[in-house]
Chains A and B, each alone.
Chain A
């Protein structure tokens, strides 16, 4: 393998994978999913919903298993259980004295455990590893279609309600006082979260999808003080790390999901250390000029 890496030019490194059908598909899906999750991650980090993202992405597990077993689109099952977990979290929180983070942890582990039990009990050709860790290189044509449709729905809604959702995250009281339906926005954001978790698990799997839903937003947040720029930076960094992760996975034969998230984390670390205004090693000349 190492001799092979030395002998190829950067040009080949980029183009060679594109000769394979499955790689073209994997790169396209990863870039798109990265963009969708990156866009949503801005709202997740600003609203403080990282734990909620973790919960929803784990809670979709039994939905995926049941959908596969019944021959339904897996996204449908995932969506039902994603929204169901959110509703259950809200219900338990309201009807008991338990604190919210405890309720979230309790519900999502319960759903996740149910998923694992179902996988071992329902006889089917579901690959547990594929659900847990994703496999963009082995994505089927039908799954590509589902992912495309869901991604475009999420992007469309996020762009349409961009400002309202931003206002909702910043100052929900004001949003409400000017007649905006904040209850609707709350559930809209949760629905988009479920849908993004569904597409995210295609590329990085259930366990790591939360990284897709927070890391790009956190990285972008360190780089700018403007919301619009933050969304662009998050989308670009997320798509870029997804594509680069797939390439690295292809050439060095490592797990794709892990590779994507690791690239994302590295980009975050670079921003954490060297962001001009908020990095550890702040750029003094930048600060003096501004």
Chain B
């Protein structure tokens, strides 16, 4: 189940999932899902709605307990990895209450809470981390604005800045490209490549196949289990995609047509 990495590289695995099964009250949501990701890689998690993408995410985040299998992040158990600020989660825009009375600065500062003491009083180093993170996503000018006054793309960048401020080595992004404007998409794509350079490991849950093709080194095709997993160029075949999407074209714009083109290349 590990086609890419040799066993001596195992020590460097950022994400290690082995035969993970998750069920909700007897209904199987995910079974035998295995995945190994090393430092400095970008991996796309592709599947239909309800295929188990978010369940896999939740298992990696420790929100659901696998009924079987094991998960290690940087070699640590999930709850230990959380305390070590190993994982950062960038949510979908829909899950957040944007009428909440917090500024952009406040939101990004939340990325530092885990590194602070119980009173959560920011130190100089925390403020520097927030400042730097805001600079990287180009939101420094808007730092005192309420989070709700930002556009969809700016909101996404604010939550990305929170993950940067957290200095986590593993980033989990849930549909990062949905509802963002073109400049934000460009900025995020550049950032992801920089993160890879810096040794971060990024797992992107998406159903947009174009983005996977553009900058994911690896891809995981998922439908209740891991159907195929490996380097993007090897895994992205129309046969695999058909299996993943059950023969249904995944997306009229970027679906079967372009994936056939890809195979022909």
Residues of A within 8 A of B (CB): 46, 160, 162-164, 166-167, 169-171, 173-180, 221, 224-227, 229-230
Residues of B within 8 A of A (CB): 61-63, 79, 82-85, 87-89, 91, 95-97, 100-103, 106, 110-111, 113-114, 118-120, 146, 148, 162, 166
Q: Closest chain B residue to A223 by CB distance?
A: B101
Knowing A176-B82, A180-B114, A227-B106, say if A170 contacts B100 (CB, 8 Å). Answer: yes
Contacts of A176 in B (CB 8 A): 61-63, 82
Set B103, B114, B118, B148: member contacting A178, Cβ < 8 A: B114
Query: A173 near B91 (CB under 8 angstroms)?
Result: yes
Give Cα A46 to B97, complex, Å: 9
Query: B88 near A177 (CB under 8 angstroms)?
Result: yes
Query: A226 near B102 (CB under 8 angstroms)?
Result: yes
Set A162, A174, A226: member contacting B91, Cβ < 8 A: A174
Q: Closest chain A residue to B116 by CB distance?
A: A163
Contacts of A224 in B (CB 8 A): 101
Give Cα A156 to B81, complex, Å: 30
A167-B113, A225-B102 given; name 5 further pairs at CB < 8 Å.
A166-B102, A174-B110, A226-B101, A226-B106, A227-B101
Q: List 8 A-B contacts (CB under 8 A).
A: A163-B119, A174-B89, A176-B61, A177-B61, A178-B82, A178-B85, A226-B103, A227-B100
Contacts of B118 in A (CB 8 A): 160
Contacts of B101 in A (CB 8 A): 46, 221, 224-227, 229-230
Knowing A170-B102, A224-B101, A227-B102, say if A163 contacts B79 (CB, 8 Å). Answer: no
Query: Shortest distance in angstroms between B18's beta carbon and chain A's nearest beta carbon?
Result: 21
Give Cα A46 to B102, complex, Å: 11
Query: A171 near B91 (CB under 8 angstroms)?
Result: yes
Contacts of B83 in A (CB 8 A): 179
Query: A225 near B61 (CB under 8 angstroms)?
Result: no
Query: A173 near B87 (CB under 8 angstroms)?
Result: no
Query: Shortest distance in angstroms between B164's beta carbon and chain A's nearest beta carbon?
Result: 14
Knowing A176-B63, A177-B61, A177-B89, say if A170 contacts B97 (CB, 8 Å). Answer: yes
Query: A163 near B113 (CB under 8 angstroms)?
Result: yes
Contacts of A221 in B (CB 8 A): 101
Knowing A177-B82, A225-B101, say if A160 contacts B119 (CB, 8 Å). Answer: yes
Query: Shortest distance in angstroms between A289's beta carbon and chain B's nearest beta carbon?
Result: 14
Contacts of B91 in A (CB 8 A): 171, 173-174
Query: Shortest distance in angstroms between B99's beta carbon and chain A's nearest beta carbon?
Result: 8
Query: B88 near A46 (CB under 8 angstroms)?
Result: no
Give Cα A177 to B101, complex, Å: 22
Contacts of B89 in A (CB 8 A): 173-174, 177
Set A164, A173, A225, A230: member contacting B120, Cβ < 8 A: A164
Contacts of A227 in B (CB 8 A): 100-102, 106
Query: Shortest distance in angstroms between A175's beta carbon and chain B's nearest beta carbon?
Result: 8
Query: A167 near B110 (CB under 8 angstroms)?
Result: yes
Query: Shortest distance in angstroms between A171's beta carbon and chain B's nearest beta carbon?
Result: 6
Q: Closest chain A residue to B112 by CB distance?
A: A178
Q: Closest chain A residue to B61 by CB distance?
A: A177
Give Cα A249 to B260, complex, Å: 79
Query: Shortest distance in angstroms between A61's beta carbon and chain B's nearest beta carbon?
Result: 32
Give the 10 A-B residue pairs with the shortest CB-CB distance, closest first.
A178-B114, A225-B146, A179-B83, A163-B120, A179-B82, A177-B89, A225-B101, A227-B101, A170-B100, A230-B101
Give Cα A180 to B110, complex, Å: 12
Give Cα A180 to B115, complex, Å: 11
Give Cα A84 to B171, complex, Å: 40
Query: A46 near B100 (CB under 8 angstroms)?
Result: yes
Query: Shortest distance in angstroms between A259's beta carbon and chain B's nearest beta carbon?
Result: 29
Contacts of A160 in B (CB 8 A): 118-119
Set A162, A173, A180, A229: member contacting B63, Cβ < 8 A: A173
